[in-house]
């Protein structure tokens, strides 16, 4: 049997909730929600459904982007008075493209303890199954709605070598995919993760152009919630150092006259032509001496 943890007084718990499958709510999250004095929820109706599923009835207070600043003072006063509060959003981890940042920042400023209760997030769920590098990634959340602002942002990301992650809703998925193809080219590898952990969960993996075609061809693929994971731009720096200058030059000398081989090797390696020329002469000399 798990030991029941009693919640700490005067503490803000940032609690992750399911992104679809209710079974993904952790046992600890359920315990914390059962034990707090108040739950600050993005949408109280939605959180009440979750509480009903857990057989709980706790006091709820709406905390969303439109009233967050106005409610800060009252929430901090309750925390300072020793009450424990859980912060939840509609789905996933609060603050990740969701409300909560002003409250967490204010708690830090006031010396109120903030405790994470980690769990589902569409960002991490999508990355973990996308089949694209995860050692470095860049979360961009929702793209700007205005076409020009979106195009500018995507242009600034076109050369980024990290995996890129975007959130998108059903209304704009086609438009967003078109904008991505426009900025990154149709060949860039990507995965479109739809309705994760839900009945119609789908992963479309391939080149951006193929994913766009698949989404345009099937109306069902445009329904629901999406995470778009896009492979980073190829790293020329890495490619350059994967082949040593000697090996590159040797291969080029077999195919091209010396001057041409030197020019190409200098351009690809970024080395000075004089140095590459000297190296080429040395290599030729070695072969003459064979
Ligand atoms: N805080 C949430 C989290 O941790 O994932 C994200 C909240 S944000 C307002 C909602 C967006 O998250 C959706 O538009 C979609 O891009 C993504 N999302 C949430 N649930 C999802 C799911 N089950 N499948 C795919 N994407 C999802």
| Residue the block writes with tokens 């903030």 | 114
Q: Find the 16 Cα to ligand 1 centroid distance in Å.
A: 12
What pLDDT sits at residue 264? 87
Q: Which CATH architecture has domain 123-230?
A: 2-Layer Sandwich (3.30)
What pLDDT sits at residue 285? 79
Question: Which of 43, 100, 104, 122 maximizes ligand 1 atoms within 8 Å of its Cβ, making it the mutation to test the pocket?
Answer: 122
| Model pLDDT for residues 118-130, shown as the tens digit of each residue | 999 999 999 999 9
| CATH, range 11-120 | 3.40.1010.10
Instruction: Over range 166-183, report the average pLDDT.
Output: 94
In 86-124, which positions are buried (b, 16+ CB within 10 angstroms) versus exposed (e)? bbbbbbbbbbbebbbebbbebbeeeebeeeebebbbbbb
- Looking at ligand 1, which residue's alpha carbon is closest to its atom 19? 122
In percent, the amount of the chain with pLDDT more than 90 equals: 78
For residue 167, give the ligand 1 atom closest to its CA.
16
Provide the pLDDT confidence category of residue 1 given band limits of 50, 70 and 90.
Answer: very low
For residue 142, give the ligand 1 atom closest to its CA.
16
Q: Find the 56 Cα to ligand 1 centroid distance in Å.
A: 25
What is the Cα–Cα distance from 95 to 103, expressed in whole angstroms? 10
What is the Cα–Cα distance from 60 to 75, expressed in whole angstroms? 12
pLDDT at 289 over 50: no
Q: Find the 96 Cα to ligand 1 centroid distance in Å.
A: 9
For residue 122, give the ligand 1 atom closest to its CA.
5
What is the Cα–Cα distance from 97 to 257, expressed in whole angstroms? 57
CB 29 within 8 A of CB 101: no
Q: Find the 126 Cα to ligand 1 centroid distance in Å.
A: 10
| Model pLDDT for residues 56-85, shown as the tens digit of each residue | 999 999 999 999 999 999 999 999 999 999
Q: Find the 267 Cα to ligand 1 centroid distance in Å.
A: 45
**Torsion of the alpha carbons at 172, 151, 123 and 121, rounded to the nearest 10:** -60
pTM for this entry = 0.81
- The H or E element containing residue 52 is helix 44-54
What pLDDT sits at residue 290? 47
| Model pLDDT for residues 13-40, shown as the tens digit of each residue | 999 999 999 999 999 999 999 999 999 9
The domain segmentation of the chain, as residue ranges, is 11-120, 123-230, 237-288
CB 170 within 8 A of CB 198: no
Question: Which of 193, 225, 228 maximizes ligand 1 atoms within 8 Å of its Cβ, making it the mutation to test the pocket?
Answer: 225
Which residues have CB under 6 Å of ligand 1?
Answer: 19-20, 89, 91-93, 96-98, 121-123, 167-169, 193, 195-198, 225-227
Q: Find the 68 Cα to ligand 1 centroid distance in Å.
A: 20
pLDDT at 286 over 80: no
pLDDT at 241 over 70: no
- Looking at ligand 1, which residue's alpha carbon is closest to its atom 11? 167
What pLDDT sits at residue 244? 80
Tokens of 61: 């207070």
| Strand pairing category for 163-169 and 137-142 | parallel
């Amino acid at each position: 049997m798990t030991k029941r943890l009693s919640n700490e007084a005067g503490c803000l718990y940032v609690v992750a909730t399911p992104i679809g499958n209710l079974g993904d709510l952790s046992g600890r999250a359920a315990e914390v929600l059962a034990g707090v004095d108040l739950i600050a929820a993005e949408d109280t109706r939605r959180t009440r459904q979750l509480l009903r599923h857990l057989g709980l009835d706790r006091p709820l207070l709406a905390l969303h982007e439109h009233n967050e600043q106005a409610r800060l003072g009252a929430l901090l006063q309750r925390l300072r008075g020793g009450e424990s509060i859980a912060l939840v959003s509609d789905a996933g981890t609060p603050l990740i493209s969701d409300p909560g940042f002003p409250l967490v920042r204010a708690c830090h400023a006031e010396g109120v303890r903030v405790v994470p209760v980690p769990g589902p997030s569409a960002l991490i769920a999508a990355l973990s199954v996308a089949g694209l590098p995860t050692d470095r990634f860049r979360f961009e959340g929702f793209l700007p709605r205005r076409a020009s602002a979106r195009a500018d942002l995507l242009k600034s990301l076109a050369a980024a070598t990290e995996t890129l992650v975007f959130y998108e809703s059903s209304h704009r998925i086609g438009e967003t995919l078109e904008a991505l193809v426009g900025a990154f080219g149709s060949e860039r590898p990507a995965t479109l993760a739809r309705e994760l952990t839900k009945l119609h969960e789908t992963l479309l993996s391939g080149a951006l152009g193929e994913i766009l075609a698949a989404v345009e061809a099937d109306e069902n693929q445009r329904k629901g919630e999406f995470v778009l994971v896009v492979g980073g731009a190829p790293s020329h720096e890495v490619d350059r150092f994967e082949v040593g200058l000697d090996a590159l030059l040797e291969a080029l000398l077999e195919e091209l006259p010396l001057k041409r081989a030197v020019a190409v090797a200098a351009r690809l390696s970024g080395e000075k032509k004089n140095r590459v020329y000297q190296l080429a002469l040395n290599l030729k000399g070695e072969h003459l001496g064979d």
